[in-house]
Chains A and B, each alone.
Chain A
Amino acid sequence: MDPQRRGLLAAFGASALLTLFPAAAGAAGRAGAAADTRLLLVLLRGGLDGLHWLPPYADPAYARLRAAAAVEEPIRIDGLFGLHPAMTRTAAMYRAGQALPVVAIAPPYRARSHFDAQDCLENGTARPGGARDGWLGRCVGALPAGESGLAVAAVMPLALRGNARASNWWPPLPKAVDPQLLQLLRPLYAADPRLDETFERSTRFAEQARAGAGVFDLAEAMRVAGERMGVDGGPRIGFVEDSGWDSHRNQAPQLARKLAELDRGLAAARDGFGAAWSRTVVAVVTEFGRTAQINGTGGTDHGTGAMALLCGGAVRGGRIAGDWPGLGPNQLNEGRDLRTTTDLRALFKALAGEHLGVPERVLETGLFPDSRAIAPLSGWRAT
C-alpha cells in the first residue's frame, strides 16, 4: 500500500461515520428539474453483494472478512472503494463524472426474504404488501397527461403497476395477428370490464414488433429501454429487471459474469438513449445486501445494507455517495452484514422529485406514504 493511500485510510478511520453527501441543501434543486428528463430503474433481483461489485479494498476488515474471496485487482476509483474489474465501461463513466455509487443503502425492510424486500422496494412503502401497486406506476400517474412508462419485462413488474399509461414490452412471437380476428375480439373484450382496457392497449403492440434475434439478456433489455425512451415523446420512466444475483456459493465467477453483463448494459443504455443521455438517470438497485463475511461455500448469505449506482448525464458523479458505516465487528448489522445508513426511498424521492419534477406533497402522500421523515438525497444531480 502506498503512503498516500495509507494516509487516506487513516483519515477515514475504521470507525468513523463518513458523510459524503453534503448537508441537505433544501429543495432548491426542484426549480432546475428540466422537463423531458428520463429515469430508468434497473432492479437486480437476488440481492447483489455490494462488497463485491464496489469493494472497499483499502479497508483491512474487508480483506479479513473476504479472505481468498476478496475481489482481486479492483479498479481503484477512490481511496477506499474500487469497482469490480469486469466494470471497465462503468469505471470510464465514473471518470467522466457520470457514475455515482451510493453505499450502504437499502429499502426500510430489515428481514432477509428476497421476495418481501423486493415487494417493499417496488411498492414504495416500509413493508411488504404495503401497497398493491408500485411507486413507479404511481409516479407515471403524477406526470403530465401524455407522458408514459415502460417496463422491458415479460410480466408487468409490481414497481410499474398502478397506472394505465405504463406498459410492458418483451420480444414478441413471430406471427402477425390477423386484423379480422382483432375485429371479432374487440366487442368481446369491450364487454369485459377487467380486460377491456388491457386489450385496447395490447393492440398497440402490433406496431412495435422487433426481430427477436440473439439472446435477450440484461444488456439487450437496457439497450431497448434506452432506444424506446430516448426518442422525442418516449416514455419518461423505464424499468428493467434481471435475476440471477443471489450468490450463496462460489460467487466470484458468477458475479464476474453478471457484472460484465451489467457493465455492457450501462454502455448499451447510454448508446440507446443517444442525445437524451444528458437528461437521463439510470438507477441500478437491488433489494438488500449480503453477509459481510464469506460463507462456508465461497458465497454470501442474505444481509441488509446494499449498494446502488446512478449513471447518466444528469448525474453529478465521479464520487462515492452515502454514509459508510464501516465493517468492524461492532459496526456490522447483527454482527454479520453491512449496516444500512440510507433508506432507498430517500434516493427514490430525489429521483422522482428533483429529476422528474413530482411535487413534494405528492411524494409524501402518493408515491412514498409515511416517508415524511425521510429527506430526499441531495447533491447528486449535475447542474
Chain B
Amino acid sequence: MSASKATAANRFGLGARPGELERSGDGREILLAQLARSPAHSEFQGLPSSAATMLLEHKQLAASREARAQRKSAAGAMSADAAPAMAAQAAGAEPAADSGRDGPADRRSAALRRELREQQSREYAARFSHAAHTDAPFVERLVQFWSNHFAVSVDKGDTRLYAAPMEREAIRPHVLGRFQDMLLAVETHPAMLRYLDNAISIGDDSAVAQRAAQLRRERRGLNENLAREILELHTLGVDGGYRQDDVIELARAITGWSALNSNEAQDYGDRAPGSGFVFRARTHEPGARRVLGRDYAEGGVEQGRAVLADLARHPSTARHLSFKLARHFVADQPPKALVERMAQAYLREAGDLRAMYRAMVESDAAWSADACKFKTPNDFVISALRAGELTVDARALTGLLSRLGQPVFTPRSPAGFADTAADWSSPDGLWKRIQAAQMLAARVDGRGAAPYPRALAVLGESAVQGDFAIGLRRAGSASEGHALLFASPAFQWRA
C-alpha cells in the first residue's frame, strides 16, 4: 500500500502547510520520523506551572473575600435597613451596584482576576500557535487525542484554569512514552482531581473522618466519580469487565489524592511543585483493597499507583485505547484486525504508546483509500490556519470554535468530544463551516500563493481536479478562491 505524503499530512496530521508535501520520504517514513524525536515546544516557554497558578488563584479568592467583608462592615455601619442585602451577599449573591466596588481589596481582586484571565489566554494562544506551526503535526494530533481521551471541561468553575495546563504538564511529556506514566500524571493533576471531585473525597475510616466523628462534626466522605471514569473512560472501557465493587475499591485506593489548598500554596510560594498534587495521608482510607480480583496492600499513595499501573497494562485497556485511536485516525468503524494488531503491539511492549502508533502507521489498513474521517471543527480551523499561513488570533479562534460546536476545553462530558462523521456533519454544522471558511479566507494574505497552487500544495494533485480546479482558477478574487478551498468537500475530509 503506497503511503502518500498528502495522506500523511491530512489523515494523520493537521493539514499541510504550503511546502510540507515537498518533504523527503514517503508518507509512512514521515510519520515514523516524527515519532522518533520530541517536537520543539517554544510556544509554551514561560507559562506558569499549575501550582503557581493555584497560588495566584488563592490570592485572588482571598482578596475577593476581604473586599466582601469590607463592604459588609461598611453596609452595617450605614443602617439596619441594609440587612437583607447583607444576607444576600453572605449567601454569595452579587452585591447591589451601589454598594461600592472600589476599595483596595476590590482593586487587588480585579487585578488578580485579570492576570488569571490573561494567563489563560496565553495558554490558548500557545496551543493554537503550536498546532498551526509545528513540523510534527502527527504528534500534535496525538496530544489532542489524549487530551480529549482524558477530557476535563472548563465549564466546571474550579477546573477552568487547569485544563490547558493539564494537557501541557501531564499529556505532552508522555505522548511518545508509556501510557502508564501519562495515566498517573493525569489522575494526579489538579484539573482531573477537581473536575471529577476526587480532590475532596475522604475515606470513611480515614483519620480525618474519625476525628470528625469524635468531635461530632459533620464530615465529608467518599466520592466515586473519578474512580468510575478511570475504569469506564480512561482505561478498561465500559465493557472492560469491572463491577460496582471495583469502582468503590478504586475510589478508596485513591482517597487522599488531592491538590494544594490555599495555605499550602502560600507556604510553597515560588517553590511550589509542578502540578500542585498532594497526597493527604489523613484522608486516605486505610487498609488493603481488592480491584479486579487483585489485592493491594495498604501503602498510602503507592496503593493507588499500583492499581493504575495494573489497569494501564490490562488487555481491556489495550483494546479500548487501540479502538479509540484507530477510530480517531482511520475510520469511524475501524477494521477489527487493525485494532487487534495495535493492542497486541501495546501489550507486547509493556504499554509503550509508540509501539501502538507504529503498529497503526505500518498497517496497510491505515492507508487504504476508503479509510476516511470527517474533520472536527477544531481540526477544520487548524488546517485552514496551516493551509492559509494565517496568523493566530486566539480570542477570535476561541469564539469561532464555540460557534462551530467545539468550544475549547469544553466537552459536554468526561467522555470528551465525539469522534465520528455523524457527530459533526450536520447541515447546520456544514453551513457554519462555509461561513467560517469565508471569514478565514478574508484573512489570507493575497500576496502569497494564489488559490489554485495553494490547493495543490496542501491537498495534493489528485484531490484538486475537475470543477474544483476550475473554480479555484476562475475565482473572482483571491479571497473567494480561498473560501472555496476551505469550504470544499475535499477540505472537510481527511483523505
Interface residue ranges, A against B (CB under 8 Å) = 45-46, 68, 111-116, 128, 132, 154-156, 161, 167-173, 175, 177-178, 180-182, 184-185, 187-189, 191-192, 194-195, 198-199, 201-206, 243-244, 246, 248-249, 253, 295-299, 301-302, 334
B431 touching A172, Cβ below 8 Å: yes
CB closest chain-B residue, reference A205: B431
Mark contacts of B482-495 with chain A using CB atoms, 8 A cut-off: 1 yes-contact digit, 0 otherwise: 01100111101000
B200 touching A297, Cβ below 8 Å: yes
**CB within 8 Å of A: which of B422-457?**
422-432, 434-436, 438-439
A189 and B438 in contact (CB under 8 A), knowing A184-B484, A243-B412, A296-B221? no
Interface residue ranges, B against A (CB under 8 Å) = 92, 155, 196-197, 200-202, 204, 218-225, 228, 232, 238, 244, 400, 403-405, 412-413, 415, 418, 421-432, 434-436, 438-439, 466-468, 471, 475-476, 480, 483-484, 487-490, 492
CB closest chain-A residue, reference B434: A177
Cβ distance B21 to chain A, nearest Cβ, rounded Å: 21
Give the residue of A68, A168, A295 whose beta carbon is less than 8 angstroms from that of B427.
A168
A296 touching B223, Cβ below 8 Å: yes
Counting chain A CB atoms within 10 Å of each CB, the highest count among B232, B434, B468 belongs to: B434
Give the residue of B220, B428, B488 whose beta carbon is less than 8 angstroms from that of A298.
B220
Chain A residues with Cβ below 8 Å from B438 are 175, 177-178, 181
Give the residue of A161, A167, A184, A187 whose beta carbon is less than 8 angstroms from that of B428.
A167
The distance in angstroms between the C-alpha atoms of A323 and B225, with both chains bound, is 29
B200 touching A167, Cβ below 8 Å: no
A167 and B426 in contact (CB under 8 A), knowing A175-B438, A180-B476? yes
A188 and B489 in contact (CB under 8 A), knowing A115-B413, A167-B427, A334-B244? yes
Chain B residues with Cβ below 8 Å from A299 are 197, 223
CB closest chain-A residue, reference B437: A181
A sample of 14 inter-chain contacts (CB < 8 A) reads A112-B244, A115-B238, A128-B238, A154-B429, A156-B426, A167-B426, A170-B432, A172-B431, A177-B438, A181-B487, A205-B427, A249-B197, A296-B202, A296-B220
Known contacts A68-B218, A181-B484, then 20 further A-B pairs from the complex at CB < 8 Å, ordered by chain A residue? A115-B413, A115-B415, A155-B423, A156-B429, A170-B405, A172-B435, A173-B403, A178-B438, A178-B483, A181-B438, A182-B434, A194-B425, A198-B427, A199-B489, A248-B223, A295-B221, A295-B222, A296-B202, A296-B219, A297-B220
A173 touching B439, Cβ below 8 Å: yes
B155 touching A155, Cβ below 8 Å: no
Give the residue of B204, B244, B426, B489 whose beta carbon is less than 8 angstroms from that of A168.
B426
The distance in angstroms between the C-alpha atoms of A186 and B106, with both chains bound, is 56
Give the residue of B424, B435, B488 whose beta carbon is less than 8 angstroms from that of A175.
B435
A188 touching B219, Cβ below 8 Å: no
Give the residue of A156, A167, A173 whose beta carbon is less than 8 angstroms from that of B432.
A173
The distance in angstroms between the C-alpha atoms of A198 and B428, with both chains bound, is 9
Q: Which 4 A-B pairs have the closest CB atoms?
A: A296-B221, A154-B405, A202-B427, A156-B426
A301 touching B476, Cβ below 8 Å: no
Give the residue of B225, B425, B434 whose beta carbon is less than 8 angstroms from that of A181.
B434
Chain A residues with Cβ below 8 Å from B492 are 195
Chain A residues with Cβ below 8 Å from B218 are 68
B428 touching A170, Cβ below 8 Å: yes
The secondary structure that dominates the A interface is loop
The distance in angstroms between the C-alpha atoms of A128 and B238, with both chains bound, is 10
CB closest chain-B residue, reference A185: B487
CB closest chain-A residue, reference B426: A156
Chain B residues with Cβ below 8 Å from A45 are 412-413
Chain B residues with Cβ below 8 Å from A111 are 238
Counting chain A CB atoms within 10 Å of each CB, the highest count among B155, B400, B423, B487 belongs to: B487
Chain B residues with Cβ below 8 Å from A298 are 220
The distance in angstroms between the C-alpha atoms of A167 and B426, with both chains bound, is 7
Cβ distance A309 to chain B, nearest Cβ, rounded Å: 22
The distance in angstroms between the C-alpha atoms of A195 and B36, with both chains bound, is 37
A184 touching B471, Cβ below 8 Å: yes
Chain A residues with Cβ below 8 Å from B221 are 295-297
Cβ distance B96 to chain A, nearest Cβ, rounded Å: 20
B425 touching A161, Cβ below 8 Å: no
B430 touching A195, Cβ below 8 Å: yes
B220 touching A201, Cβ below 8 Å: no
The distance in angstroms between the C-alpha atoms of A377 and B204, with both chains bound, is 43
A198 and B413 in contact (CB under 8 A), knowing A173-B439, A188-B468, A301-B225? no
The distance in angstroms between the C-alpha atoms of A248 and B225, with both chains bound, is 7
A195 touching B489, Cβ below 8 Å: yes
Chain B residues with Cβ below 8 Å from A182 are 434
Give the residue of B92, B200, B430 whose beta carbon is less than 8 angstroms from that of A199.
B430
Chain B residues with Cβ below 8 Å from A168 are 426-429
CB closest chain-B residue, reference A132: B422
The distance in angstroms between the C-alpha atoms of A170 and B430, with both chains bound, is 12
The distance in angstroms between the C-alpha atoms of A45 and B153, with both chains bound, is 15
Cβ distance A163 to chain B, nearest Cβ, rounded Å: 13
B480 touching A178, Cβ below 8 Å: yes
Chain A residues with Cβ below 8 Å from B201 are 296-297
Cβ distance B231 to chain A, nearest Cβ, rounded Å: 10
The distance in angstroms between the C-alpha atoms of A296 and B212, with both chains bound, is 13
CB closest chain-B residue, reference A174: B435
Chain A residues with Cβ below 8 Å from B432 are 170, 172-173
Cβ distance A112 to chain B, nearest Cβ, rounded Å: 7
Give the residue of A114, A171, A295, A301 whose beta carbon is less than 8 angstroms from that of B413.
A114
The distance in angstroms between the C-alpha atoms of A175 and B403, with both chains bound, is 12
B415 touching A198, Cβ below 8 Å: no
A191 touching B467, Cβ below 8 Å: yes
Cβ distance B169 to chain A, nearest Cβ, rounded Å: 24
B467 touching A296, Cβ below 8 Å: no
Counting chain B CB atoms within 10 Å of each CB, the highest count among A128, A155, A299 belongs to: A155
Cβ distance A282 to chain B, nearest Cβ, rounded Å: 22
Chain B residues with Cβ below 8 Å from A185 are 434, 484, 487-488
Cβ distance A203 to chain B, nearest Cβ, rounded Å: 7
CB closest chain-B residue, reference A128: B238
CB closest chain-B residue, reference A155: B405
The distance in angstroms between the C-alpha atoms of A351 and B167, with both chains bound, is 45
CB closest chain-A residue, reference B415: A115
CB closest chain-A residue, reference B221: A296
